Amino acid sequence: MLDKKKVVLAYSGGLDTSVATMWLKEQGYEVITMTADVGQQVDLEAAKQKALKSGASKAYVMDLKQEFVKEFVWPALKANAMYQGTYPLNSALSRPLIAKVMAMVAKKENAGAVAHGCTGKGQDQVRIEVCTNALNPELDVLAPVRDWHFSREAEMEYAQAHDIPVMATTASPYSIDENIWGRSIECGILEDPWNEPPADAYTLTVDPWNAPDHQEFVEITFEKGIPVALNGEAMDGPSLIQTLNEQAGKHGVGRIDMVEDRLVGFKSREVYECPAAMTLIAAHKALETLTLDKKVLASKKELEVKYAELTYEGYWYSPLKEAIDSFVDTTQEYVNGVVKVRFYKGQAVVRGMKSPNSIYQQNLATYSEGDAFDHAAAVGFIKIWGLPVKTWKQVHKDKMPVEIFC
């Protein structure tokens, strides 16, 4: 029997989840916090202490960077996953991991509930709750911040009254979520789509005009769709991403500014910075054009759209995601090679690629000697290719009339 008054809370170390810890405790719950290190800038030991001070009976702090990259980031990269073609899902990808780890801790601790600090209009509440449903339908999911309707001021007062440490600094105008795959930024000024994002919203990337005045190159080696080396040097996933985040970020690469359709029915202006993600997706896509068949590329693109939607909408643990992964993995067998990328003033541009599995055949493509293409075949091909429109016009003689305008 699960203990329904024991709850595992995803704890960030910020005001919301600290207050939530105490608040849940006051509701009669034993609260166990779980703080995930997915590559964000946070003092984990301090977070642990703060959790305990905020009323947690136990505070887990877990380094999940390897799991995050291996089980979430790389599969998404293989699928070139970008929601609405633009957002590399940096925040969305961490939610199923957090839900999974909460479910694991709950199992270990025999807790009957998990909790998160999301509000009622974001996507993250959907992701964490739906993923938890999918992982262990018996777990209750609590959302104290959504339920209590505290204003910022009321939260502060509550915190002070309960001895929860509050940062002395004035509140940042930005609401941030960060991990190794990128950084999501929301703030009031962005709510008017005519406004440019403020320069100080960014921490991983410089403004392009502050980037170095010279171009810089990196060669990225892929094996079965996954990057394994930079400039020939093998690296594990988190290190490779970290290295690229720094290099690309220094050149101002990876800023995204979009109006995005939320699952909960409205449009939202969002700003992201994802230097490594944007570089790797561009390189990966390019390598696929060299190594994958035209029909595979076309069908994969359609599934990539679905993959990104499933991730965005909380369906990471779902039978469709499982089936698309099988499709994608079958194609990635062939995505091996090296891609040369140039960084300069805000742009990452693919400047060359080579692959042992290249199906680009120079002897077919060339216009020089050695041309292996059968030019005569084109005549028959075009005759048959054009037959349907020829027939159409023979039947519909009056359609698409040709008027003389000369």
Measured from the CB atom, is 5 or 351 closer to a second copy? 351
Binding mask 337-356 for a second copy (x = CB under 8 A): ---x---xxxx-xxxxxx--
175 is catalytic: yes
Phi then psi for 348, rounded to 5 degrees? -115, 115
Q: Does 220 bind a second copy (CB under 8 A)?
A: no
Nearest distance in Å: CB 383, a second copy: 4
Q: Which member of 171, 199, 232, 294 binds a second copy (CB under 8 A)?
A: 294
Q: Which member of 125, 184, 205, 247 binds a second copy (CB under 8 A)?
A: 125
Name all contacts of 295-298 with Cβ < 8 Å and 24+ positions apart: 296/331
Q: Which member of 32, 111, 286, 308 binds a second copy (CB under 8 A)?
A: 286
User: Which DSSP string do the residues of 338-393 spell out, in sequence order?
Assistant: EEEEEEETTEEEEEEEE-TT----HHHH-SSTT----TTHHHHHHHHHHHHHHHHH
Measured from the CB atom, is 30 or 313 closer to a second copy? 313
Q: Does 84 bind a second copy (CB under 8 A)?
A: yes
Matching residue, tokens 């600090």: 117
- 252 annotated to a ligand binding site: no
Compute and round to an integer the Cα radius of gyration of the chain. Answer: 26
398 is catalytic: no
Q: Which member of 297, 335, 341, 343 binds a second copy (CB under 8 A)?
A: 297
Calpha distance 393→384 (Å, rounded): 15
Q: Which member of 4, 46, 210, 373 binds a second copy (CB under 8 A)?
A: 373
Closest Cα partner for 123 from 165, 91, 166, 82?
A: 91
Grouping H, G, I as helix, E, B as strand and the rest as coil, residue 224 is coil
CB 340 within 8 A of CB 327: no
Output the six-digit token pair for 308.
């990104």
374 is catalytic: no
The one segment of 24-32, 41-49, 236-244, 389-397 that binds a second copy by CB under 8 A: 389-397
Q: Does 167 bind a second copy (CB under 8 A)?
A: no
Q: How many helices (H) and strands (E) does the chain have?
A: 14, 14
Nearest distance in Å: CB 2, a second copy: 13
Q: Contacts with a second copy in 133-162 (CB under 8 A)?
A: 133-137, 143, 146, 149
List 175, 236, 261, 293, catalytic entry: 175
Nearest distance in Å: CB 158, a second copy: 19
The one segment of 9-17, 25-33, 231-239, 307-315 that binds a second copy by CB under 8 A: 307-315
Calpha distance 21→7 (Å, rounded): 10
Q: How many CB atoms lie within 10 A of CB 328?
A: 21
Grouping H, G, I as helix, E, B as strand and the rest as coil, residue 35 is strand
Measured from the CB atom, is 136 or 162 closer to a second copy? 136
Q: Does 404 bind a second copy (CB under 8 A)?
A: yes
124 is catalytic: yes
CB 189 within 8 A of CB 173: yes
Closest Cα partner for 95 from 268, 263, 237?
A: 263
Q: Which member of 65, 100, 183, 284 binds a second copy (CB under 8 A)?
A: 100
- 87 annotated to a ligand binding site: yes
Output the six-digit token pair for 332.
């990635």
Q: Which member of 45, 153, 200, 213 binds a second copy (CB under 8 A)?
A: 213
Phi then psi for 257, rounded to 5 degrees? -140, 115
| N residues, the chain | 406
Q: Contacts with a second copy in 53-82 (CB under 8 A)?
A: 60, 62, 67
The catalytic residue positions are 16, 95, 124, 175
Q: Which residues are annotated as a binding site?
A: 10-18, 36, 87, 117, 119, 124, 127, 175, 184, 260, 272
Q: Which residues are annotated as a binding site for L-aspartate?
A: 119, 124
